[in-house]
Chain A
């Protein structure tokens, strides 16, 4: 499957150990910067009740949904226990010349 690389933001627009919402086309994504400045991206909505994850809290490599405390490892998208049981979709990212790009399927 081929990807289209979308310019998301300047890498410094996201704080370390934080998350930002990114909307593109009909889709919403959550992009993450870990404490050691690695970048990741997942689907933007919680698999439990479609809440925007970007309002949630990032601690270590875990994003916690702002409403029901569903938790995911944002590197793999893995759901870490009730009330979430469906994993998050993940997307590739890359950094070029200080900008973050998100790979979305074409």
Chain B
């Protein structure tokens, strides 16, 4: 295929793909730009789907990166007519849903992921809901009525945020988690503990270490049968058990794929002129480090932006410090850097009854931190931790633990 004047193509019109398209234009790329997505909407951010959008306090416009008018003004072609069928990296071509081939100059794969399905649940049950897209969020919102009985499967962030929103809307909520604690793969025990206490105090019936035997019902799920014999009647069953990255297109095309589409330090895949970004991208934060994926707002934002620069030939290494937040009722948690489910190296109390947990390396340098506070109050300390990670100076545990020593002070020492 003749690819000399071929367009830049982005497959995936979610947050990462949308940010990349906008960045390409703001960086001055004036050639043809095609953004292919499987949702009808212009690119939007997903965090509000389990919070404000579900609550009804925000709408699609409130979480959009831009509207379709703006896409038009920027001459970004937003195609939604069906999935890309296949990819031919050697020819720099991709096959569209109608069977025709499109040549690309460079390509960004920002294909994201889909909600992992609960095994043994018939697909046709109308009240078994997953939460990944705006339209799924609207369907769920319509079902969250005062008094409705909701069973949430999965004690990770999606399940917990849905539980919190549903409680605030007056639903009765039972949350089932297979593991011994909430968000236990990601968070240290202390944060799992405050999440459990808070959700129980707000009336969520949280069950840990539970296994599901079957979902009972016909057209609709009527109850969840647990292995221990208990039966939980439900009006709605929400499944939040993680995301499955959409790697099939890349894998079939012969690209290097692990848990996601593998990229080098500049977000380029194993094929020339193909980059990846966002939830689907498997990258190393440092040369020689472990491959990882990050399913976060921040990663979509930063990798989308970064991939755009490198699509234009900037050749910049991606080394943005990861992080995320999660909101529960009037409390929030935030993280920065590398945190884990293991015990932290140090902790400090904050004024509102919250805390910050610090993870240090062998040289007493900060690797990561996470914190808990009212509203967004933990944000300042977490942002200061991000800067402490970046500057890499050794820290003293007693100073970290002393709430009287401000982190800003430590940063400037």
Contact = CB atoms under 8 A, between A and B. Distances in A.
Nearest to A82: B305
B297 A56 contact: no
Interface string B201-230: 000000000000000000000000000000
Contacts of A8: none
Interface string A61-79: 0001011110000000000
A94 interface: no
A56 B334 CA distance: 13
B contact patch SS: helix
Contacts of B379: 55-57, 66-67
A52 B383 contact: no
Interface size classification for chain A? 10 to 19
Nearest to A58: B380
A21 to B, nearest CB: 11
B380 A56 contact: yes
A99 B301 CA distance: 41
Interface string B402-413: 000000100000
Nearest to B381: A57
A92 interface: no
Contacts of B305: 82
B183 to A, nearest CB: 19
A83 B297 CA distance: 11
Contacts of A55: 375-377, 379-380
B149 interface: no
Contact of A82 (B23, B325, B380, B408): B23
B62 A82 contact: no
Nearest to B297: A68
A14 interface: no
A20 interface: no
A37 B376 CA distance: 25
B311 interface: no
A52 to B, nearest CB: 7
A57 B301 CA distance: 20
Contact of B376 (A50, A52, A69, A82): A52
B19 interface: yes
Nearest to A65: B379
Contacts of A59: 387
20 contacts: A49-B62, A55-B377, A55-B380, A56-B383, A57-B379, A59-B387, A64-B383, A66-B376, A66-B379, A67-B325, A67-B376, A68-B297, A68-B301, A69-B298, A69-B383, A82-B19, A82-B22, A82-B26, A82-B305, A83-B65
Considering the complex of A and B, which 9 residue pairs feature the smallest CB-CB distances, nearest first? A66-B379, A55-B376, A66-B376, A57-B383, A57-B380, A55-B379, A55-B377, A64-B383, A83-B301
